[in-house]
Structure 1
Amino acid sequence: MNEETDCGDETIGQMLKRLRGDMSLRGVQRLSGISNAYLSQIEKGLRQPGPNVLRRLAALYGVGVQELLRKAGYLDSEGGEPEVDEATEVERAYQYVLSDPVFRVGTRPRGPLSIESKRFIVELYERYSGKRLLS
């Protein structure tokens, strides 16, 4: 799976799909703990992966995390640190929880929630699922 990582103008989603190769999305889910639905949305360009997701995928796909972070726009061309604030990280994790098919049934939040409320929901999800979404 360790192909040349940068193919011109491809998006981060296209790049991740190429790096995945013949592995199924469910296979990636089993090995990474990232839901196949979320991975599919990333590959189709519907969602932007967070730095933590990219770190897990880099390890799985055998590519440099810096390259994935740069392709996703988290690093400048000189490799500076990711510029993701806490609210953005919580929001991405919260959207991930909402996209999990296991949690699509039942009561859904109505109206806007505070970052603290979203963090609480994400932390409950992390405890229940065993997946780590927040750093």
Structure 2
Amino acid sequence: MGSFEGGGLGAFLREQRRQAKLSLRQLADAAGVSNPYLSQIERGLRKPSAEILQQIAKGLEISAETLYVRAGILDERVRDEADPGAAREPEESGVRAAVLADPGLTDEQKQALLRIHEAFRRENAAGTDGEKHDTGPPPTTPPTTGS
């Protein structure tokens, strides 16, 4: 059986499982997958579906999007929708990783933040260096009336 390249998904899952202090069997039970199947995923021998990743994420109590990115599912889709063929800068992946790893945000909030971040990056890339982008009039405060 050949090994598939999942961007380090197996190693990431193993590390997350160890940090959660779960045995392979405990995570398999929590995720509703077989122990041998989960072991094969961790060793990079199997490529899980998005549905299985979602079940594993629930078992680990982490965001499913985090696993989708690690497996190359979400990252490829977001990259292609935003700007096909665009080179990604190292700091962008740090922002993405931080947003996706934040347990205080819902999955919908994470996606909204990533879309806003990408929109700002595209906007800045479209301008010239040092050029200030006009985003409309500055916020105004209502005039105060004298008494």
TM-score, normalisation: structure 1: 0.48
Structure having the larger proportion of residues in helix:
2
